[in-house]
Amino acid sequence: MSLSARDITIGYDRKTISEHLDLDVPEGRFTAIIGPNACGKSTLLRALSRLLKPQAGEVLLDGRDIGSRPAKEVARRLGLLPQSSIAPDGIAVAELVARGRFPHQKLIRQWSAADEAAVVAAMAATGVTELSGELVDTLSGGQRQRVWVAMVLAQQTPIVLLDEPTTFLDIAHQIELLELCVRLNREQGTTMVAVLHDLNQACRYADHVVVMKAGRIVEQGDPRTIVTAELIEGVFGLGCRIIDDPETGTPLVIPRSSIVRLA
Amino acid sequence: MSRTGASGVDFGRRVVVVRPVGRLPVRPAVVCLALGLAALAIGVLALSTGELSIPPADVLRALAGEGSGAYRLVVVEWRLPRVLLALLLGVALGLSGAIFQALTRNPLGSPDVIGFNTGAYTGVLVVTVYVGTGYYLVAAGALVGGLATAAAVYLLAFKRGVQGFRLIIVGIAVSAVLGSVNQWFIIKVNLQAALAAAIWGQGSLNGLGWGQVVPVAIGVGLLCVVLLGYGPRLALLEMGEDAAAALGVRVEATRLAYLIIGVALIAVATAAAGPISFVALAAPQLAQRLTRTPGIALVPSAAMGAFLLTLSDWLAQRAFAPTQLPVGVVTVSVGGLYFGWLLIRQGRAQ
Amino acid sequence: MVLARSAVQPRPAVAVTRRRQGLGLVVCLGVLAVVCLLSIALGTRNISLGTVWDAFWHYTDTDDQAIVRDLRVPRTVLGLLAGVAFGLSGAVIQAVTRNPLADTQILGVNSGAGLFVVFAVGVLGLTDLSQYLWFGFAGVAFALTLVYLLGSVGRAGATPIRLTLAGVALGAVLDGVSSGIRLVRPRAFDYLRFWDVGTLAGRPMQVATTILPFIVAGTLLALLVARSLNAVALGDDLARSLGASIARTRVLAMVSVMLLAGAATAAVGPIGFIGLMIPHVVRWIVGTDQRWIFVYTVVCSPILLLLADIVGRLVVRPGELRVGIVTAFVGAPVLIWWIRRTRVSAQ
């Protein structure tokens, strides 16, 4: 199941964010898109997920233009965790997760054995099975985000896109979520694409990093090879040095400090 | 029927699972049934009370085609159409309100927001002043006026898609213009015509008979079938456009479809009986409180609408007998109580 | 509510200095004076400026001079007062609710005043403005409280979209009840339908003098509270830390709206869009300091109202189009154009 963007120009109303963008999402890997604010990473993800129609060029899902496929069919192959979703008041966890099965359901076939199995598996994978009957409003931010991820997992798609999944989560939950993504990628071969704003997390967990600035893709590849101090300085305007993360061996960005601490 | 029951999943409330057709939550089903029965009970009550009091047993006999000819005449020819209309229009109003509240994601969303009633009033005034005052003429005027207004509001708010707030503001603006037009008509016209239009504006089921029941039943029936065909999409839209699109809902097209259905439902109701306020606003919210469903539920809203309107119409006929109030007056009072209840709940929650 | 920057922030090119603002104000006052003159001179019969001058200083009781004194001047004065009232009440509401798209019409406040006045005239049989004026105040207070409470239902509080929807719903209720009362009293219906949309016509000078003290009081109160409203605009927490007493500011602001909108609606009927449009235009010129916004609104709102009244008098001569109708016809397209231009993300 391949996903790629061919020469796309994307923007909102009269404002163009990116032009002539090409991207091949590596199959079966975990890709992170990073870059400074307003560099167009969320816009790119929205274009890849069919939420935003390119003004020029095309997004190809399995070789065919994503816009030409029926919406439900795309939803069976491509899952998306959007930035802003609204959980209806008073909905239980299992109900919300079950909604993720919509792409697989028909009018008179709204709860099959396959649906049930998928929901059970998704809740188990995200560790929310004990919360199954609880109301989503009563959960903490970290738990709620896990429930939304469970909903996307229940969709059982070979490709999952995540738009800034770690915002509003505290550090422990951020790490937990990213490790969950890596596990899903390794165990089930799901292609993952996530927009992240933490450089070090991206380097640690992603197999493939796409660095954007001002609407263009500046560099992409294995973080261990492409993440250098010059790149970070050029893209983020941050003087830094790179060392190896003592836990994982991946690049760790240490910003340079202008404050001299008196010993 | 335990909480997990035959399914391996705990949904947090009692659910009946029928694989592979679907899941039926128990509480909403029971509430719908209760409301439906209550509406029917009030219907029978309405059939038996009036200038001629008929015992309920005789009413049922008359419905079955037996019993005295006089009773059959009163019950079946005169009173039954009105009861049926109250039920049908209540369903239409409840569903329409539910759709608008789900689309605007706001408990105060209603077809008023799209300026429908003001436009319908304009249509009625135009017809009354320039054409004539027959029932079907007025109904046609209301229909055309209301639909044209809704279409105009939608088109004016459309800019690569229709966004909630913009729709509301455009609706307010168009309502203001049409409201002024209405005012101008009312001033221009003679007192009799102005009063007649104003009375229409209150909404009433007086004098309606079998001639109205059939088209309304067909209209509401068709719209319900179409609504059913769209399945759970309304609930998915309530989760936000991105989430719904990610699950495979074609957001713009589906929203437009729901809007059209919602407008069509209120159009049928307004054309038949004039604008009846509040049922569309209150029914979905009351239904949601009773059934404790997450988000707006269509079938309970319909059931609650039927119950509210049947009750209101019976009160309108009996409360100040022999004066017949327009049903709109009763529903406005119901509306006032409803707002009061909302405020008390709000006060307690804080 | 977040609006696209172009619509809300002041243009940096217009260096907003005190001096420039003072000058701008003088210009607006000049325009107002001209519009007042036009309002006196133009109408079903155009009256020359010479005659107008004479009517004041060399009165010789000709027909035209009588028109000036007995019809045009009272009408213009009333238009001035009503313009100030509707415009300023809109500006205050926008400041207090932090909702740039609010005025007394949209939030159902005019409907509240209208209902109570209909009750006073239709049911209680009052015929003197100075009597049913108080019902106008009560109606405004009632509607304001209700719309705020209704808009706060739910967890998110009174966001602009909730307030607007609450206003639409409440306005519909109140109009419905008002309609119902009028149906039950056909004679009052006849009298009231001629009052139902705002108009300056047929009001003697006494009407203007009756409401004058209330308009003045409301205006002074609004100006007094303007400074605190600057702090409130920053958000409740920040405002408190700046020392503003939020509750007191809100109450005073609401009292001023009550005085302004209540008196004006009782005197001339409901007029919309003035309170919506003028503060917007003014904000665009003057920036976000509520004191200047209020002052400019006081001067500019009557300009719009009187112009609308003049247009109403000229457009269908020898008949007349009521000012409330003209403002709706002018204001609605402008509102639609504006909302299409702006990228609005409510909440």
Q: How many CB atoms lie within 10 A of CB B58?
A: 19
Residues 6+ apart with CB under 8 A from C307: C35
pLDDT in tens, C79-103: 999 999 999 999 999 988 887 778 8
Q: Beta strand pairing status for A56-61 and A15-25?
A: unpaired
DSSP state of B326: P
Q: How far is A241 from chain B (nearest CA, A)?
A: 38
Give the span between the Cα atoms of B109 and B98, in whole angstroms.
9
CA nearest to B254 within chain A? A71
> Does residue B349 register a pLDDT over 70?
no
Beta bridge partners of A33: A195, A210
More confident residue, C195 or B344: B344
Torsion of CA B344, B346, B348, B349, to 10 degrees: 160
B112 neighbourhood in chain C, CB within 8 Å: 168-169, 172
- Whether C179 sits inside 8 A of B104 (CB atoms) is no
pLDDT in tens, C32-71: 999 998 888 887 778 887 777 777 777 777 777 777 878 8
Give the span between the Cα atoms of A49 and A66, in whole angstroms.
9
> Does residue C305 register a pLDDT over 60?
yes
Residue A253: φ, ψ to 5°: -90, 120
Q: Is A24 exposed, middle or buried (0-12, 13-18, 19+ CB in 10 A)?
A: middle
Q: Hey, which bits of A158-215 come out as E strands?
A: 159-163, 191-195, 208-213
> Does residue C215 register a pLDDT over 70?
yes
Q: Is B16 exposed, middle or buried (0-12, 13-18, 19+ CB in 10 A)?
A: middle
Instruction: Please give the pLDDT value at position C3.
Output: 44
Could you tell me the pLDDT band of residue B301, with boundaries at 50, 70 and 90? very high
pLDDT in tens, C233-266: 777 777 777 776 777 888 899 899 999 999 999 8
Give percent of chain B with pLDDT exceeding 90. 31
Asked whether the beta carbons of C40 and C67 are under 8 A apart, the reply is no
pLDDT in tens, C262-295: 999 988 988 988 998 899 888 888 888 889 899 9
Give the span between the Cα atoms of C333 and B263, in whole angstroms.
23
> Does residue C166 register a pLDDT over 60?
yes
Instruction: Please give the pLDDT value at position C212.
Output: 94
Tokens 């490790």, residue located: A179
Tokens 């919602």, residue located: B262
Compute and round to an integer the Cα radius of gyration of chain A.
19
> Does residue B187 register a pLDDT over 80?
no
Could you tell me the pLDDT band of residue B7, with boundaries at 50, 70 and 90? low
Q: Is B247 exposed, middle or buried (0-12, 13-18, 19+ CB in 10 A)?
A: buried
Tokens 């260096």, residue located: C15
More confident residue, C101 or A143: A143
| Tokens (6 digits) for A82 | 């959007």
Residues 6+ apart with CB under 8 A from B349: none
pLDDT in tens, A171-212: 988 998 899 899 989 998 999 999 998 999 999 999 999 999
CA-wise closest residue to B176 among A194, A155, C110: C110
Q: How far is C324 from chain B (nearest CA, A)?
A: 7
Instruction: Please give the pLDDT value at position B84.
Output: 94
Cβ within 8 Å of C, B 17-56: none
More confident residue, B44 or B348: B44
From A15-29, A174-188, B191-205, the region with the lowest mean pLDDT:
B191-205
Torsion of CA A102, A103, A106, A107, to 10 degrees: 50
Q: What is the interface pTM, i.e. ipTM, of the complex?
A: 0.88
Most confident of A26-40, B96-110, B271-285, C9-23: A26-40
Mean per-residue pLDDT, C180-188: 73
> Does residue B5 register a pLDDT over 50?
no
Residue count of chain A = 263
Mean per-residue pLDDT, C313-342: 85
Instruction: Please give the pLDDT value at position B162.
Output: 66
Residues 6+ apart with CB under 8 A from C229: C92, C95, C96, C249, C253, C290
Q: How far is C25 from chain B (nearest CA, A)?
A: 30
- Whether B281 sits inside 8 A of C169 (CB atoms) is yes
Chain A and chain B share a number of CB contacts under 8 A equal to: 124
pLDDT in tens, C99-120: 777 888 888 898 899 889 888 8
CA-wise closest residue to C42 among C68, C61, C62: C68
B18 neighbourhood in chain A, CB within 8 Å: 111
Could you tell me the pLDDT band of residue C204, with boundaries at 50, 70 and 90? confident
Please indicate if any CB of chain C lies within 8 Å of the CB of B168. Answer: yes
Residues 6+ apart with CB under 8 A from B43: B83, B86, B87, B310
